[in-house]
Structure 1
């Protein structure tokens, strides 16, 4: 069954309300864009999804914030291995949650020995988790009666660490804290810095941290969210945004952006082409190298992906992985088509991007379905990624045949 048929069937069967798919190759032979379905499942709203419809980007925001950090690094404004609490004092006081008292259920906290560095924040090795993903942090929040925090980073994510910085791997708020460092060093909001240093160089106009800030974000151009009923499998419509977060009052660099996927894709293509519009080549290369600081952190990552059911993407093949600046990095050669150096990440609403410089391709799958890691959606993500590699392979084969004919060879 072709990808187009699978997508049409998925919309018809209620697997997804719609999807935007984008892909390109460094050779320029692959330039793929496809859109199917509707922007909302609400009764009476029949608007088709468009390539430039605005999506809740969720953790796709992390790549944008990482690029901001790397720009400041290459300008000499920060070190990747220095204590970041000098810029964000909250990060100096976070202790380590080791458990809960058997007597009264109170949290057991230990002082930590190691500082948090930018490398820790960017690679999820700081110990800073998400209370909406980790049962220990959820229990801590409930015990301390912080169920309704304000929508600011210092309040929502000022939580204990789950391990010593560098001594494990925990997916969480590290890159959100990295965004606060960017704000401290630049004297700007993260959104303002991104606008000048990421968006304008690439001609991006439709990404912002607040829907009200987008110059072209009328409600009719913003995708609603859909949530799958675990019992029936049916999708129910809901408003844009992430229901497990409060209304955000400042720029959350790990979770908070909204934007059109065609604009976001300009970032992926720029990185693939290594065109130096955002970073110098030597800095971009750091994004495709393993960056976890210790073996304990690498072991933690691999343990987290022994059961990857929490993560959005197709993890059906070999999982030879490390964390790089910007995403999850393939560090082996066993995968049937992803090459060593394949970089990817995802967003809670079942969004997924990848850049494979070895194969010369990048791609973006976008839909708006919760909860994360929907198994039916992940099958479509896998089919899309394979389709991109097949397109690149076919184009390379056609180019090779053309060259052979031009050279008079067979």
Structure 2
């Protein structure tokens, strides 16, 4: 792999908050259309697959507690003859963040942690953090100063703590993250001069301990900056509960929601359902993680709470269905309505300096996902580095998600196009 990935592109900043906001003005009856009444969505998937921009695409759309309508096109890979289906396995990368955010919301709702509680209460190594004076500058004493406030749980959930990201930072700090194994996800067995390289450290405990020794990019609470906060929340969860983070997700979210195929590793018995992942280089798609030899077949060094999950369209739709159900699905309560409201609310701190990402306007940020403000309130979701996206619109109990596999995920502007198509199909004005 070569080249670096632009920070704003990584965020897929426009995916959802502009076009998906139009769903909020649509009558519920329109949003409840059958899949066969969404010809533009089917045409979108057909076009991308026919033009070989992607090997496959699945779009899931549903409302309330009704089963989703699935639009399925293509095969597991460019060389496969096996068509994708709702149980095909996809690397969802940062769509993991809302899952971790919901897990944290459970503990917030239980009173076991608090939004503005210092992280150091649970992880003492974060008591005295240093901050770079010049972001992404030298990691030397002359470019460091003490943090002016404590890093809090709110900061971790909303990317406002100043924690870095090896896929975002540049120069010495990015190098230090990779040297210490502070890697946010598994991508490929192939190492190259790219931001997605590096060997992860051996455990979530060590990840947290080593992270505490690395300076922050910004002062806590002052800027929205994509980072490893959701990964660190995973460590907070396991310390507070005494349960390994991945076990907590399994017991509290995956099993109750009926997400049988979601996890941090793909069992060998399921490799026949795993898609291939591709890297776009120019106009060529190069395989970077083939199913038969996927890095996801190995046990992960630790559960990446920010970008580590593999899931299926069926399973992730179940997660979204639970959210639009106010924490319940199929008559079973997974989390309280209050916890869902908290996770999907705008949780950005009031200490943000003017300007910067999510500093104002229509977009806010909740527990691991973007939220809408004002007339767009009720939107919640996030996208993944390999082209996936998942959102809910709570006022209409609508859920929408898309699955494919290519990196970088913003290369085609697919997420934005998807949402423009939905808005257009509803007869809403373009923006």
* TM-score, length basis structure 1: 0.79
Higher relative contact order (CA 8 A, sep 6+): 2
Matches within 5 A, 1:7-46: 7-26=45-64, 28=66, 31-41=68-78, 43=79, 45-46=80-81
Alpha-carbon contact 1:34-1:51 (below 8 Å) kept: no
Alpha-carbon contact 1:207-1:260 (below 8 Å) kept: yes
Please name the residue that 2:323 is paired with. Answer: 271
Alpha-carbon contact 2:118-2:150 (below 8 Å) kept: yes
SS in structure 1 of the partner of residue 70 of structure 2: strand
Q: Give, in angstroms, the shift of residue 106 of structure 1.
A: 4.5
Distance 1:138 1:323, change over 3 A: same
Please name the residue that 2:279 is paired with. Answer: 227
Matches within 5 A, 1:6-405: 6-26=44-64, 28=66, 31-41=68-78, 43=79, 45-99=80-134, 106=140, 108-136=143-171, 138-141=173-176, 148=199, 150-153=201-204, 154-155=206-207, 157=211, 159-212=214-267, 217-229=269-281, 231=282, 233-239=283-289, 248-276=300-328, 277-296=333-352, 299-302=355-358, 320-333=362-375, 339-383=376-420, 385-386=422-423, 390=426
Alpha-carbon contact 2:45-2:58 (below 8 Å) kept: no
Please name the residue that 1:2 is paired with. Answer: 40
Distance 1:293 1:100, change over 3 A: closer
Q: Give, in angstroms, the shift of residue 99 of structure 1.
A: 3.0
Distance 1:11 1:386, change over 3 A: same
Number of matched pairs: 361
Q: How far apart, in 2, do the equivalents of 1:27 and 1:119 lie?
A: 30
SS in structure 1 of the partner of residue 162 of structure 2: coil
Gaps of 5+ in 2: 1-38, 182-197
Distance 1:351 1:143, change over 3 A: closer
Larger radius of gyration: 1
Q: How far apart, in 1, do the equivalents of 2:172 and 2:260 lie?
A: 37
* TM-score, length basis structure 2: 0.75
Q: How far apart, in 2, do the equivalents of 1:100 and 1:344 lie?
A: 28
Q: Give, in angstroms, the shift of residue 13 of structure 1.
A: 1.1
Alpha-carbon contact 2:200-2:301 (below 8 Å) kept: no
Distance 1:27 1:378, change over 3 A: closer
Gaps of 5+ in 1: 306-318, 334-338, 394-410
Distance 1:61 1:51, change over 3 A: same
Q: Give, in angstroms, the shift of residue 328 of structure 1.
A: 0.7
Q: Give, in angstroms, the shift of residue 255 of structure 1.
A: 1.1
Q: How far apart, in 2, do the equivalents of 1:379 and 1:290 lie?
A: 22
Q: Give, in angstroms, the shift of residue 181 of structure 1.
A: 0.4
Q: How far apart, in 2, do the equivalents of 1:240 and 1:119 lie?
A: 37
